[in-house]
Every structure is written in structure tokens, then in C-alpha cells.
């Protein structure tokens, strides 16, 4: 792989997310956030450990990253399903962080760490070849063409995924917006570090094993849209 693919590209100037806060967080939720979020959060002011397993109290077999986890439903489901895996979740939306913290506490999970800012900063902090999977599920599609440059998937971030994923690691992408699916196929397949794993239509029309339907997916179905589930493997 050439140097352009492995080096960290410059950060795009526009943020990849919209608002940071929605409804007012209840006092009990705020108190829980104050008590638990500091111990769950990654400190990017410190160097990343050479082995990301050191971020967790146990020795996880894999480390997976979910970018923009929303309310955390998928991340929590996977963390319960795979206690032997360490999960890092990124969500700049404060209400989503609050929901995730509540769920982590309710289920007594110890295999999740959180980051509440721009995922690009986290990707640039992570060591080379340190992740087994990156998931980007129903990201903001920025549907207007003049806003497409704000889509998280781009040549720069695909190169970041290539740097932090181990050989054989996977990038999972799900969306109900056809233009974003096509956009993602174009940008990821343009990077020689990745191979699209699909061999037939069912490979992108059917979700991954153990997939819990999300509220974004439910909304898409109500509005008559199907979804695509793309898997790309790091060479």
C-alpha cells in the first residue's frame, strides 16, 4: 500500500455531525453522566496505549469501534452479546451519550469506552493496526448535493480506517439512502487497502448475523426504504 493510503490525511474543515444537544437532559441523567462518563471516556490528551486492550479491565479478544452510535442500542446489544470484545463508541450528541451511559450502568457493562467528540480526532489518536472492526451505521446522509463533502465517508477517512484496522479487519457500513450507499462503494473501493466482500445481492441486502433492528432502520421501513449492509475487508 502506498504512502498516500497509510498516512493520516488532513482533517476536513467541516464537522461531520450536526447539533450537539437536543432535549434537556433530566437532572438524574445529568448526575449519572457526571458520575460515570469520566471513567468511561477516553482521554485523548494522553498517548494511546500500544495495546488498546489496556483501556479495559479485562483482556478483550478484539477491539471494535462504532462511529456515531446514536442512543447506543446497537453498541449495547453487541457488548452484551460479546463480553469478550472491547467496544469503543463515538457520539458527539450529548443526549445519545446520556442514553448510552444509562444503559451501560443498567446492564453492568465493563467492555465499553466512550468518546464524545469528532471521530476524526479519535481515529488520528489510535495506533496503527489496532482495531478489528469499524462500524458506521446509518450516518447522517447529508442528502443535499452541496453538503456531500460533509459525509463521513471520504478518501481521507477511508485512509484513516485503513491505518487503524488490522489486516483482515472489517469496515461495516449501513444506510437506507441509495446515494450514500453508492458514494461509500465508490470511495472505499477506490482505496486498494479494502476489498468489498459481497459475492451476491443477499450479501448487502441482508444484515449481519445477530443484527438488532435500530430505530433509524424502523423509520426507513415506515417511509418505504430498504437498507444496504456493506462489508469491506482490510487487505
Domains of the chain and CATH, by start:
3-234 (3.40.50.150)
Which pLDDT score, from 0 to 100, does residue 215 have? 83
Cα four-point dihedral sign 123, 126, 129, 135: negative
Confidence band of 227 (pLDDT split at 50, 70, 90): very high
pLDDT at 113 over 70: yes
pLDDT average, residue stretch 131-149? 94
Confidence band of 7 (pLDDT split at 50, 70, 90): very low
With H, G, I as helix, E, B as strand and everything else as coil, classify residue 101: helix
The partner residues of 233 in beta bridges, in order of sequence, read 170, 195
Which pLDDT score, from 0 to 100, does residue 12 have? 54
Percent above pLDDT 90 for the chain? 76
Which pLDDT score, from 0 to 100, does residue 19 have? 46
Confidence band of 3 (pLDDT split at 50, 70, 90): very low
Q: Which residue has the cell 471516556?
A: 41
pLDDT average, residue stretch 134-158? 94
Per-residue pLDDT of 22-40, as tens digits, reads 556 667 776 777 778 999 9
Q: Phi/psi of residue 64, each to 5°?
A: -125, 145
pLDDT average, residue stretch 204-209? 96
- Residue 183 has a CB neighbour count (10 Å cut-off) of 18
- Residue 195 has a CB neighbour count (10 Å cut-off) of 13
End-to-end CA distance of the chain: 9
pLDDT at 152 over 90: yes
Catalytic residue among 117, 118, 124, 140: 140
- If phi > 0 it is left, if psi is from -120 to 50 it is alpha, else beta; for residue 108 that is left
pLDDT at 18 over 50: no
Q: Quick check: is 140 catalytic?
A: yes
Q: 217 vs 25, which has greater pLDDT?
A: 217
B/e letters for 75-101, b = 16+ CB within 10 Å, e = fewer, are bbebbeebeebbbbbbbbbbbbbbbbb
Which pLDDT score, from 0 to 100, does residue 23 have? 59
Which pLDDT score, from 0 to 100, does residue 21 have? 52
Pick from 95, 96, 101: nearest CA to 35: 101
Q: 26: which residues sit within 8 A by CB, 6+ positions away?
A: none
Amino acid at each position: 500500500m502506498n504512502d498516500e493510503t497509510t498516512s493520516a490525511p488532513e482533517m476536513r474543515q467541516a464537522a461531520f455531525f450536526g447539533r450537539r444537544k437536543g432535549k434537556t437532559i433530566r437532572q438524574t441523567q445529568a448526575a449519572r453522566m457526571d458520575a460515570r462518563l469520566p471513567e468511561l471516556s477516553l482521554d485523548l490528551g494522553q498517548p494511546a496505549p500500544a495495546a488498546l486492550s489496556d483501556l479495559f479491565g479485562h483482556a478483550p479478544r478484539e477491539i471494535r469501534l462504532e462511529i456515531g452510535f446514536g442512543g447506543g442500542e446497537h453498541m449495547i446489544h453487541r457488548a452484551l452479546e460479546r463480553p469478550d470484545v472491547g467496544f469503543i463508541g463515538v457520539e458527539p450528541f450529548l443526549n445519545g451519550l446520556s442514553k448510552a451511559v444509562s444503559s451501560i450502568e443498567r446492564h453492568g457493562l465493563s467492555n465499553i469506552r466512550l468518546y464524545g467528540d469528532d471521530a476524526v480526532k479519535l481515529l488520528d489518536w489510535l495506533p496503527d493496526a489496532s482495531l478489528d472492526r469499524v462500524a458506521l451505521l446509518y450516518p447522517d446522509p447529508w442528502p443535499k448535493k452541496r453538503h456531500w463533502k460533509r459525509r463521513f465517508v471520504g478518501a481521507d477517512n477511508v485512509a484513516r480506517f485503513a491505518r487503524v484496522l488490522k489486516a483482515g479487519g472489517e469496515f461495516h457500513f449501513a444506510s437506507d439512502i441509495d446515494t450514500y450507499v453508492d458514494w461509500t462503494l465508490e470511495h472505499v473501493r477506490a482505496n486498494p487497502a479494502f476489498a468489498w466482500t459481497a459475492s451476491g445481492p443477499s450479501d448487502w441486502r441482508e444484515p449481519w448475523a445477530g443484527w438488532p433492528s435500530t430505530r433509524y432502520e424502523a423509520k426507513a421501513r415506515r417511509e418505504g426504504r430498504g437498507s444496504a449492509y456493506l462489508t469491506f475487508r482490510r487487505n
